[in-house]
Amino acid sequence: MSLNRRQFLGASASATLLPSIAKSEPGFRLEAEPVIAQVLPPGDGVTHMFGFNGSSPGPEIRARQGDRVSVDFVNGLDRDSAIHWHGIHVDNDMDGVPGLTQPLVRPGETFHYSVNVAHAGTYWYHAHHRSWEQVAMGLYGPLIVEEQDPPTVDRDITVLLDDWRLEETGELHDSFGNAHDITHAGRMGNFARALFSSNHVRRGDRVRLRLINAATAREFPVTIGGLVGQVVAYDGMPLPEPAPFREILLAPAQRTDVIADVTGPVTFDLRLRQGSYELGTLSVEGTNPSPTHAPIMPLPSPGIPEPDGNRATRLTLVMQGGAMGGRHGGQDVWAFNDRSGLPERPWRQFDRGETARITLRNDTAFPHGIHLHGHHFREIGDDGVHGAYRDTTLVDPGSSRDILCVFHNPGRWLLHCHTLAHQAFGMKTWVEVK
Ligand code: C2O
Ligand code: CU
């Protein structure tokens, strides 16, 4: 499915703002319900989809590091659901995985989530039941955890990236669960854009941008024009030193935080095989009378224990299946280690605090962004050098990546591909931390 450029023309002036829930509210209600969204430019058709509290994406939840966020999730849909707090080291029974950590939330029911946000950073929440369908239908939103001592910026702007598969009328294409998507790269949209929590900046502003890829399948290689700055965090976790960038690549579910100084209208473009596609623009209104010239500093260290690779249990997880992927021993389209779907017993049990080095090997013809619940891990380079902390790591076809993780969080944790059609059709397993 290729992106439809014609539909997008004229859309850059449109500004859909992400709604928000104030961080001063100690507890709130998050109701999943049918919504009507203006995904296409104003004047074009509307989209009947699902959302939270009347909108899709759902409201941006802002909390302060160390808070316990209290959410009454009300299921106002005609179908079962549950909410997952992606990247947060939650208590296991709050992780939102039906059948593994909680029962399904039935239509009309309320489930109370109590989410301890120990680490500051950029996170998100999304439906975790039939997620390939429910996330594509709009059931997600940003979850921002502010530092105890946040860096000084003039603007802090969330940039949600997504694509949608739309009819000419604007309605969602009803091709959910289409066999080609499942066996290939997942459900790609034909229309993509960036949604912002605020839509303008001043020249000279220092901004923090929080990019989130909420798409069920599409990788976003993004270039940002009109600013000069550095990457300061991946998947919520600060880099020890800010890093320069030319292009930012976000696999499904990944996040990147940038701190930068505005030199002109801030443009977001998606690189395509041929040319690029305009995702959206933050317009410039006025000039900051006193721009900062201070260097961009690292965000405060998350203070999680550094894994020791020399004491790690060695494991290998092989991704298998899909179109052009050869045979495997699993019962479904996709598999890990010859096994499709959730085994009754965990793939591995770890003692609490145990460190494992896991080789993720991709024997398929497609990329997979592999997500571990309840933890972050370090990506390890071929040379053994410790890379960034991540909760989702992208492994290209025919390649492999080692990750190093301290399994510190007790409970039952999912490990799966975040191309959600791959997850639904076999590419998932779970581990248990005792
Ligand atoms: Cu973001 Cu198991 O998911
Ligand atoms: Cu996958």
The secondary structure of 238-275 as a DSSP string is EEEEEE--S-EEE-TT-EEEEEEEEEEEEEEEEE-SSS
Per-residue model confidence as pLDDT tens digits over 190-221? 999 999 999 999 999 999 999 999 999 999 99
Whole-Å CA distances, 254 to 60, 124, 250, 350, 369 = 17, 10, 5, 25, 9
Place of tokens 């993780």: 405
Dist CA 340 CA 232 (whole Å): 37
Tokens of 284: 């410039």
Q: Which of 416, 434, 412 is nearest to 425 (CA)?
A: 416
What is the number of H-type helices and E-type strands within the chain? 4, 29
CA of 257 to the centre of ligand 2 (A): 24
Q: Tell me the H-state helices in 269-419.
A: none
Is the pLDDT at 12 greater than 60? The verdict is: no
Is the pTM here over 0.75, yes or no?
A: yes
Ligand 1 atom 3, closest CA: 86
Q: What is the mean pLDDT of the chain?
A: 94
Q: What is the pLDDT of residue 137?
A: 98
Per-residue model confidence as pLDDT tens digits over 106-122? 999 999 999 999 999 99
- The ligand 1 atom at the shortest distance from the C-alpha of residue 126 is 1
Ligand 1 atom 1, closest CA: 86
Per the DSSP assignment, residues forming a β-bridge with 193 are 162
Per-residue model confidence as pLDDT tens digits over 82-96? 999 999 999 999 999
CA of 337 to the centre of ligand 2 (A): 14
Query: Mean pLDDT over residues 328-337, rounded?
Result: 97
49 by DSSP, 3-state: which? strand
pLDDT band with cut points at 50, 70 and 90 for residue 10: very low
CA of 14 to the centre of ligand 2 (A): 33
Whole-Å CA distances, 194 to 92, 257, 268, 277, 297 = 32, 15, 8, 11, 26
Is the pLDDT at 16 greater than 90? The verdict is: no
Q: Which of 98, 153, 154, 90 is nearest to 123 (CA)?
A: 90
- The ligand 1 atom at the shortest distance from the C-alpha of residue 416 is 2
CA of 367 to the centre of ligand 2 (A): 6
Is the pLDDT at 65 greater than 90? The verdict is: yes
Ligand nearest to the CA of 373: 1
Dist CA 63 CA 23 (whole Å): 5
Dist CA 299 CA 72 (whole Å): 31
pLDDT band with cut points at 50, 70 and 90 for residue 1: low
131 by DSSP, 3-state: which? helix
Per the DSSP assignment, residues forming a β-bridge with 37 are 47
Residues in the chain: 434
CA of 426 to the centre of ligand 2 (A): 9
Ligand nearest to the CA of 83: 1
Q: What is the pLDDT of residue 129?
A: 98
Q: What is the pLDDT of residue 25?
A: 65
Whole-Å CA distances, 160 to 39, 143, 157, 259, 393 = 13, 11, 10, 16, 19
Ligand nearest to the CA of 319: 2
Beta strand ranges found along 128-254 (DSSP E): 140-146, 155-164, 191-196, 200-203, 206-213, 220-234, 237-243, 248-250
Per-residue model confidence as pLDDT tens digits over 300-325? 998 888 899 999 999 999 999 999 99
The distance of Cα 387 from the centroid of its chain, to the nearest Å, equals 19
Pocket of ligand 1 (CB under 6 A): 84, 86, 126, 128, 253, 371, 373, 414, 416, 418
Per-residue model confidence as pLDDT tens digits over 22-46? 555 668 899 999 999 999 988 899 9
Dist CA 312 CA 354 (whole Å): 8
